[in-house]
A and B are shown apart, each in its own frame.
Chain A
Amino acid sequence: MSALSERPESPAVGAAVPHESARLHVTGAAQFTDDLIPRTKDVLHAHPVQVPQAHARVTALRVAPALRVPGVVRVLTAADVPGVNDAGIKQDEPLFPEEVMFFGHAVCWVLAETYEAARVGAAAVEVETEPLPSYVTVREAIAADSFQGAMPQLVRGDVETGLADAVHVFGGELEIAGQEHFYLETHSSLAHVDEAGQVFVQSSTQHPSETQEIVAHVLGRASNEVTVQCLRMGGGFGGKEMQPHGLAAIAALGATCTGRPVRVRLTRAQDLTMSGKRHGFLVEWRVGFDAAGRLLALEATLTSDGGWSLDLSEPVLARALCHVDNAYWLPHVRLNGRIVRTHKTSSTAFRGFGGPQGMLVIEDILGRCAPLLGIDPMELRRRNFYRRGQTTPYGQLVRHPERLDRLWRQVVDTGDIAARQREVAAFNAAHPHAKRGLAVTPVKFGISFNLTAFNQAGALVHVYRDGSVLINHGGTEMGQGLHTKMLQVAATELGIPLGRMRLAPTRTDKVPNTSATAASCGADLNGGAVRQACEQLRERLTRVAATMLGLNAADISIVDGVARGTGAPTGVEWNDLVRTAYFQRVQLFAAGFYRTEGLYWDSAAMQGSPFKYFAYGVAAAEVEVDGFTGTYRTRRVDIVHDVGDSLSPLIDIGQIEGGFVQGAGWLTLEDLRWNTGTGAARGQLATRGASSYKLPSFSEMPEVFNVTMLADAAEEGAVYGAKAVGEPPLMLAFSVREALRQAAAAFGPAGISIDLASPATPEAVFWAIERARACGGHGPTADADLAPGGAANAGHPTPERALRTVSHV
C-alpha cells in the first residue's frame, strides 16, 4: 500500500474540474429533497403549530378545530409518538414539547392534503399556555444563573504570574454575534413507508446516520427498519448537522401514522424562527504583553449562548477554547468556558464550529491593543506567531508553523502591502470624510473532529460488469464539492477516466454509522475510505491483469483505463479486465474504511492532540469607510491559503472565496436581532426574513479579489496530500473587520484603540468613528444631544452590543 498522501501517475485528483452536478445545477435538473414532491403521489403536507411566546407551559392543546378544516387529515401530537419524544440525543429536545422554550417553538404538526389546508389547519389549533420567566440575552441568563452543560477550563502555565510579569496588561469585553446559516434550501424531509413497514426518509441532512437514529428512536424502531437518503443539500454550513433530525422524525411519524408519504418543508420564516444558528458569545478577557509586545498571558471567560437546548453547544465551546490561540504562542493561558440557556432557538454547528468565535477573541485583542502598545498591528501579529517546537495551550505540537511565515510573506509581497499602506496613509491624509484601512490577519485551524470517535468513515464501491463504477460513501454533498473530490479520488486510485464513475446519493443502507459531514473533514475521511475500497479493487484487478499479460502484478499499474506492465506498449483495457475478472469470479465490489490515526483527546482535562494537522491561511483586506454614514466597501482582498496539495482546485478556490465572504457577512453585515423587550413579542426573532436578515450580495464582494493556494504544501498523512478547506477560510474575514477598525481609527488621532461592535454594520462603524472623532479627530460629528449620552460616550446605542473600552488594568 502506498502512503496515503502519494499520488500515482496521471492522477485525476488535482485537476480543476467543475462540480460533478454542475450541468444539473445550471439547468434546474438537479433534484433537492422537496423537488421530489411533484414526483410523488398522495403526499401529505405538514405545517407546524408555533407558539408565539418565549417561555411558557402548555396547559391545553385543542386540535379538533384543525380537524374541521377541509383537507386536514391528522394532527400529530406527543400522543402519537410510539418511541422517544425527543428530537436529539441528549433528551433535552422534546419533539412535541409541553413547555414552550422559545418564541415560535412548534408544539404539534398538522397534516393535510395541501400545504394551504395544513397552514389553515395549524392556525386553527388552540393552544393555551401559562407564561414562564424568560431569558433572551446572555447577560440576562448569566444574571439568572441559567447555565447548561459542562464548564470546561483550558489551562497552561500560570496566568497570574504571566500577568504579573507583563509590562502591559489590558482588559476588556467582546460581544460576538451569532449568525444564521441561511442555506438557500430550507429544511426539508419526505418520508414514506414501504410494503414491509420500513421507513424511508429523504432528508436534507448533513448527518444521515443520526437522522436515521433519531427517526428510529422516535418511532420506537430498530435502525435497520429506517433508511435515510440525502440527494444533495442546497447548502448546509453546519445548520443541517443536528437540526434536520426532528423534522425528519415528524415526516416519518406522519407517514407511519397515515400510511401516506409526508412532506415537511419549512418556509424561510419557519426555518429562521425554529432552527438553530451560530452561537453568540460574551467574552471577558485580560491580557499581558512584555515590553516587546509579545503575548505573555491571557485569561478569558467565554460564555456562549446555547439557546434553549444543549445541542452541539459543548463541542462548539471546546473548539472555541481550542482556537483562542489562533496563530499565536501564548505561554500562560487560562480559558473558562460556559454555556447559558436562553429562550431562543438552539444554537448549533456553523462553519468553524466555535473556532471563529475563539479566534475572534485574540484577533480583537490584538487589534485593540496594538495602538496602545504603539506597535503596528501587522508587526504585533507576526511577532507573536508560533515558532517551531511550540505547542498549543491544549498541548498539541504546532506542526509547520513556518507555513504561517510563508503565507504571510507571500500575501505581503503579492499584495504589495508596503506600497499600499503608504497609499492608504496618503489617502487618509487627503480625505477628511473618507478613510481607508488595510489589515492582514492569519488563520490556523485544527482539522479533525475534537471527539476522536467521529474520525472514521466508510465507502462502498461497485464495479459493474460493463466497467462502470458506482461510488457510495458516507459523506453528504451540500455544495462543497465532496462528491466531485470523491470521484477524483476513486478515478485516481482505480486509474480510470472520471467519466466511468458515478456517485450515488448518500444512503444509510449503503454505508452505516457515518459521522456528520462536518468539521471540514468530509474529504479527508470519506476520501480515505473511498481510496481504501478502490485500492482493494485495483489490487484484485491487477492480479487478474497479471495473469492476462503474463506479468507480475507488482509491475502492473492501471493508468488512463489501461492496465499495463511498466514500460510496456500495450496492456489490457479496463472493460476487458473487468469482464475477465467477473468470469474468474473475482469480487468486483469493496467496502472501504478509514480512521484518522494518531489522535488523542481528553475532554475533561482539555488536553491532547485532537487534530490531524492545522490548515493555515493569511488574508489582507483593504476597506474604505464613509465618515458621514459609516458605510464602507471592500476595495481589495488578497488571500493565500494552505490546502495542502489540492484535490480539486476549482472546488477549493470556491471554498476559500465562499468561506471568506460568509465570514465577512458574519462579521460585518448579518445582524440577528431578537426582541429583548418585555412586551408580547419578547423573544421573537426580529430578523426573520431575507428582507431583514441581509446576506452578502454582489455589493459586498471585494472589488479586487485575489485568491491563491499555497504551493508545495502537500500534507503527509492526508489523502493524496490534500488539506481540509471547508471551514478555515471563513476566518480569513477577520482581515476585513480589522481593516474597518483601522479605518475608523483614522478619523481620530494616532494611537487610539477602537472598539468595534460585531457585526460591524454601517451603524456600528459610524459609532466607532464618532468615538474616534471624540478623541480629537476631525470631521462632522452627530450632535452631542443625539448620540446616546453624548458623542463622547464610548457606548453603542444598543447596550446589548456595548463594548467596554480597552483599558490598562
Chain B
Amino acid sequence: MTGTHHAFRPDLPGRQEPTAGRAVSTDTPPLPDDTTRSGGDITVNGRITPLGDVTPHTTALEWLRGRGLTGCKEGCGEGECGACAVLVARPGVDSPTEWVAVNACLLPVAALDAQEIRTAEGLGSPDRLHPVQHEMAVRGGSQCGYCTPGFVCSMAAEYYRAGRRASPDGDVTGHDKGPNGFDLDALSGNLCRCTGYRPIRDAAFALGPPVPDDQLVQRQQAPTAPPRPVRLRHGGREFVRPASLPDALRRLREQPTATVVAGSTDWGVQVNLQGARAESVLAIDRLAELRKLMITPESIEVGAGLALSEIERRLAGRVPLLAHMFPLFASRLIRNRATIGGNLGTGSPVGDTAPVLLALAAEVILVSVDGERRVPLADYFTGYRRSVRRSGELIRAVRIPRPLAGLVAFHKIAKRRFDDVTSVAVGFALDVVGGTVTRARIGLGGVAATPIRARATEAALEGNPWSAATVAAAARSLRREGTPQDDHRSSAEYRAAMLGQSLLKLYAENPAPYEIAAVPGGRIAAATEHQAERRPRNERAV
C-alpha cells in the first residue's frame, strides 16, 4: 500500500520505522511491576477484563473480537468506515467524564489500559434495546447490519453528549442538526453502503434526552481514572506509557527509534495496511504536560497531545480559521483521537492542520531532555514527511500568535465534501486595513512535498488594494505556487486551477469594500468568529 493517501492522519511525533533486533535499553527507569504483561486491564462493558497477552500493535478491534465481542467489525482497517467504533470514557469538557466514540481498528489495545469502554453489546441486548438501538431498529436504520454496531456507538456518544440540547421550538435547525440538538457530524466517520443514510438520520433526530438514572449518564458525573504508567512486553516488543513528559523524553533519548504514538490514527493505518511493527511504542497521548490549552493576550498555545475534538470544543470558535478547518478534518471518530501534534509530526503534505497553522503564522514548540525551542511552522518542514525535529525531540505544543488576522478562510478541495483526503487545501489569513491588504499569510496543502506558504502570492497581495485587479493578479500567482502532481485524487491541472480559484472565491465572498482588521489582544470580536463576513464600508463602525 502507498504511504501517502492516509497521511493526513495525525498522531505521533517521532515515529520511526521499526529496527529489527534492536536491543531494549536496560537502564530505563523501572515501572511498576503490575504493569508488565498480564498486569493491564480494561473495563469492558462494566467488567474488568485483563489485557492478557497482547503485542504493542494488537488493535482494540482484534482484542475485542478475540474476546467474542464481534459486534465490533472491521470494514476498512484505516479508520474510514467506523464499523469498529466503540465508546471510551474520557475526561470531559461539559461533564467530568464523557463517552467518546473512537475507531477500535486504529487503537493499540494497550493504550486503553485502565480505561473504560463500551461496545454495542454493552449498550443493550436484543431483548432490552438501548434507546439508540431502538430507534435504529424500528426506523430501518440497519439493512445488512454490518456497519450498524459502529453507527450505534457513534450515535450513542452524541446521545450522551452533555452539551446536546433540543432546540426550543423543536424545529430542525438545519440539514446537519436535529431538533433534539443531535449534530450529524457525530456520524461523519461512519459509512453505510445500504441505507442511503436517511433512516439513520431520522433515528438520530428522534432521540430524546437520556433518562437521569441511565448508567452511562451517571458514569459521566464521576471522574475518569487517571492514566497509569504501563509497560507491556511481548516477544521482545514493548508498549510503554511513561509517567510524565520528563520520563517520556528520557526514554526517547535512550531509545531514539521508539515509535511515539499519540492518537495512533496514522500509525494504526500503517500497522493494518503496511504491516508496520514497532519494537517499542511510546504512548504520549495522556501526558498531562501535552494536554494544556493556554490562552494569553499574546498567543494561544495548544498542547500537542490534545485531540482535535477537544481543541475544537475548548477553543469554541476563538480561532475562527481553526474552527473552519475542524469539520473538514477527517471525521469525528478520527478527531476524537487524532492530535494536533501528531498531524504536524507526521509531516504529511496533505495534513489539514498545517495549511491553517501556516496561515496563522504558528510556531512549533519542540522539547527534549535538553530543553525547549520554538520553530516557526514555515521553517519546520524540510521534505516529504521530514522536518527539523531532532531525534529525541517531541512536539510539546503549537503556539498561535495574536492578534489573529481578520479575513480568514479554509478551502479544502476533495472528491467528497466531508471525511476525504485533501486534493488541495488553502488557508487564508489576511488583514485588510483602509482598503489595503496589510498582511497576507497563505498556507497550502497538497501541492508540494510539504505544506508550504504561498509566499509569492502573499507578496502580490501585501501593500495592494483589496480589489478585483489585485486578486486577479494574485490568483495567477497562486496558481503557480507549489508543484502539484497528478494522482488518483486529482489531476495536477485541477490542483493548480483550484489554487487560483480559491483566492477568487475568497474575494467573491468578501469583495471590496471590505474591512476587517486584526483584533488586538483578548477575546476575538464576535464578528470574526464566523467565516469572513462581508461588511460593506458604510455599515462599518470605524
A-side residues, CB < 8 A to B, are: 18-19, 21-32, 34-35, 37-39, 119, 123, 181-186, 232-237, 267-269, 433, 478-481, 626, 628-629, 631, 633, 650-651, 653-654, 657-662, 669, 671, 673, 686-692, 694-701, 703, 705, 707, 761-763, 766-767, 780, 782-783, 786-788, 797-798
> If the complex has contacts A27-B71, A27-B149, A182-B193, are A700 and B488 also in contact, measured as CB distance less than 8 A?
no
Interface pair A651/B140, CB less than 8 Å apart: yes
| Interchain CA distance A480-B145 in the complex, whole Å | 10
Interface-facing stretch out of B294-302, B305-313, B501-509: B501-509
Interface pair A788/B65, CB less than 8 Å apart: no
Interface-facing stretch out of B35-43, B197-205, B222-230, B448-456: B197-205
Interface pair B198/A689, CB less than 8 Å apart: no
Interface pair A19/B143, CB less than 8 Å apart: yes
B121 at the interface (CB under 8 A from A): yes
Q: Indicate which residue in A26, A671, A673, A691 contacts B80 across the interface (CB closer than 8 Å).
A: A691
> If the complex has contacts A29-B125, A30-B145, are A699 and B75 also in contact, measured as CB distance less than 8 A?
no
Interface pair A654/B487, CB less than 8 Å apart: no
16 chain-A/chain-B pairs, Cβ below 8 angstroms: A21-B145, A24-B145, A27-B71, A28-B121, A38-B65, A123-B275, A479-B142, A479-B146, A626-B505, A689-B273, A701-B196, A705-B198, A780-B475, A782-B479, A783-B476, A797-B493
Which B residues are in CB contact (< 8 Å) with A687? 488
Instruction: Say how far A658's CB is from chain B's closest CB, in angstroms.
Output: 4
B416 at the interface (CB under 8 A from A): yes
Which A residues are in CB contact (< 8 Å) with B419? 697, 699
Q: Which of A25, A626, A653, A686 is most buried by chain B, counting CB atoms within 10 A of its CB? A: A25
Q: Indicate which residue in B67, B120, B140, B508 contacts A28 across the interface (CB closer than 8 Å).
A: B120
Which B residues are in CB contact (< 8 Å) with A28? 69-72, 119-121, 148-149, 152
Q: Indicate which residue in A268, A478, A654, A691 contacts B5 across the interface (CB closer than 8 Å).
A: A691
B540 at the interface (CB under 8 A from A): no
Which B residues are in CB contact (< 8 Å) with A19? 137, 140, 142-143, 145
Interface pair A631/B417, CB less than 8 Å apart: yes
B464-496 toward A: CB 8 Å interface, digit per residue (1/0)?
Answer: 000000000001100100000001111101101
Instruction: Say how far A12's CB is from chain B's closest CB, in angstroms.
Output: 17
Instruction: Say how far B514's CB is from chain A's closest CB, in angstroms.
Output: 17
Which B residues are in CB contact (< 8 Å) with A658? 143, 193-196
Which B residues are in CB contact (< 8 Å) with A479? 142-146, 194
Which B residues are in CB contact (< 8 Å) with A694? 415-416, 420
> If the complex has contacts A28-B119, A268-B77, are A184 and B83 also in contact, measured as CB distance less than 8 A?
yes
B421 at the interface (CB under 8 A from A): yes
Which A residues are in CB contact (< 8 Å) with B147? 184, 234
B138 at the interface (CB under 8 A from A): yes
Interface pair B417/A633, CB less than 8 Å apart: yes
Interface pair B505/A654, CB less than 8 Å apart: no
B519 at the interface (CB under 8 A from A): no
Given contacts A26-B142, A692-B421, 6 further A-B contacts (CB under 8 A): A18-B138, A22-B138, A28-B71, A185-B75, A479-B143, A782-B500
B126 at the interface (CB under 8 A from A): yes
Which A residues are in CB contact (< 8 Å) with B421? 691-692
Which B residues are in CB contact (< 8 Å) with A669? 415-416
Q: Indicate which residue in A237, A629, A651, A797 contacts B413 across the interface (CB closer than 8 Å).
A: A629
Q: Indicate which residue in B81, B127, B139, B493 contacts A786 across the interface (CB closer than 8 Å).
A: B493
> If the complex has contacts A699-B417, A701-B196, are A629 and B505 also in contact, measured as CB distance less than 8 A?
yes
Interface pair B137/A232, CB less than 8 Å apart: no
Which A residues are in CB contact (< 8 Å) with B140? 18-19, 650-651, 653-654
B433 at the interface (CB under 8 A from A): no
| Interchain CA distance A267-B127 in the complex, whole Å | 33
Instruction: Say how far B237's CB is from chain A's closest CB, in angstroms.
Output: 12
How many A-B residue pairs lie within 8 Å, measured between CB atoms? 290
> If the complex has contacts A27-B123, A269-B273, A783-B476, are A38 and B198 also in contact, measured as CB distance less than 8 A?
no
Nearest residue, chain B, Cβ from A791: B497
| Interchain CA distance A19-B133 in the complex, whole Å | 13
Instruction: Say how far B89's CB is from chain A's closest CB, in angstroms.
Output: 19
B318 at the interface (CB under 8 A from A): no
Interface pair A689/B125, CB less than 8 Å apart: no
Interface pair B144/A762, CB less than 8 Å apart: no
| Interchain CA distance A697-B415 in the complex, whole Å | 12
Instruction: Say how far B81's CB is from chain A's closest CB, in angstroms.
Output: 5
| Interchain CA distance A313-B393 in the complex, whole Å | 57
Q: In chain B between 120 and 171, which residues have their CB closer than 8 angstroms to a CB of chain A?
A: 120-121, 123-127, 129, 132-134, 136-149, 152
Which B residues are in CB contact (< 8 Å) with A633? 417
Interface pair A18/B137, CB less than 8 Å apart: yes
| Interchain CA distance A694-B141 in the complex, whole Å | 21
Interface pair B275/A119, CB less than 8 Å apart: yes
Interface-facing stretch out of B183-191, B364-372, B377-385, B524-532: B183-191
Interface pair A786/B191, CB less than 8 Å apart: no
In the A-B complex, the 8 residue pairs with the smallest Cβ-Cβ separation, listed nearest first, are A28-B71, A479-B144, A234-B146, A25-B145, A661-B196, A690-B80, A479-B143, A28-B120
Q: Indicate which residue in B129, B414, B502 contacts A27 across the interface (CB closer than 8 Å).
A: B129
B90 at the interface (CB under 8 A from A): no
Interface pair A631/B413, CB less than 8 Å apart: yes
Which B residues are in CB contact (< 8 Å) with A698? 176, 184, 187-188, 197, 201, 418
| Interchain CA distance A626-B488 in the complex, whole Å | 22
Interface pair B78/A691, CB less than 8 Å apart: yes
| Interchain CA distance A27-B127 in the complex, whole Å | 10
> If the complex has contacts A762-B415, A782-B497, are A27 and B5 also in contact, measured as CB distance less than 8 A?
no
Interface pair A783/B500, CB less than 8 Å apart: yes
B17-56 toward A: CB 8 Å interface, digit per residue (1/0)?
Answer: 0000000000000000000000000000000000000000
Interface pair A25/B476, CB less than 8 Å apart: no
Nearest residue, chain B, Cβ from A185: B146
Interface pair B144/A183, CB less than 8 Å apart: yes
| Interchain CA distance A37-B73 in the complex, whole Å | 13
Interface pair A25/B137, CB less than 8 Å apart: yes
Interface pair B66/A25, CB less than 8 Å apart: no
Interface pair B142/A25, CB less than 8 Å apart: yes
> If the complex has contacts A629-B498, A698-B188, are A235 and B77 also in contact, measured as CB distance less than 8 A?
no
Interface pair B78/A690, CB less than 8 Å apart: yes
| Interchain CA distance A317-B420 in the complex, whole Å | 34
B6 at the interface (CB under 8 A from A): yes
Q: Which of A35, A698, A707 is most buried by chain B, counting CB atoms within 10 A of its CB? A: A698
Q: Indicate which residue in A23, A237, A690 contacts B191 across the interface (CB closer than 8 Å).
A: A690
Q: Indicate which residue in B132, B414, B497 contacts A766 across the interface (CB closer than 8 Å).
A: B497
B542 at the interface (CB under 8 A from A): no
Which B residues are in CB contact (< 8 Å) with A183? 144, 146, 193
B276 at the interface (CB under 8 A from A): no
| Interchain CA distance A738-B426 in the complex, whole Å | 31
Q: Indicate which residue in B134, B144, B195, B501 contacts A185 across the interface (CB closer than 8 Å).
A: B144
> If the complex has contacts A269-B273, A690-B80, A691-B5, are A184 and B137 also in contact, measured as CB distance less than 8 A?
no
B212 at the interface (CB under 8 A from A): no
Q: Indicate which residue in B76, B184, B196 contacts A690 across the interface (CB closer than 8 Å).
A: B76
Nearest residue, chain A, Cβ from B153: A28
Interface pair A763/B191, CB less than 8 Å apart: no
Nearest residue, chain A, Cβ from B509: A433
Instruction: Say how far A478's CB is from chain B's closest CB, in angstroms.
Output: 6
Interface pair A689/B121, CB less than 8 Å apart: no
Instruction: Say how far A101's CB is from chain B's closest CB, in angstroms.
Output: 21
Q: Which of B133, B193, B504 is most buried by chain A, counting CB atoms within 10 A of its CB? A: B193
Which B residues are in CB contact (< 8 Å) with A29? 71, 121, 125-126
Which A residues are in CB contact (< 8 Å) with B125? 27, 29
| Interchain CA distance A688-B187 in the complex, whole Å | 23
Interface pair B504/A692, CB less than 8 Å apart: no
Interface pair B193/A22, CB less than 8 Å apart: no
Instruction: Say how far A403's CB is from chain B's closest CB, in angstroms.
Output: 23
Q: Indicate which residue in B133, B134, B196, B269 contacts A662 across the interface (CB closer than 8 Å).
A: B196
> If the complex has contacts A35-B70, A692-B488, A694-B420, are A27 and B133 also in contact, measured as CB distance less than 8 A?
yes
| Interchain CA distance A233-B146 in the complex, whole Å | 8
| Interchain CA distance A680-B175 in the complex, whole Å | 46
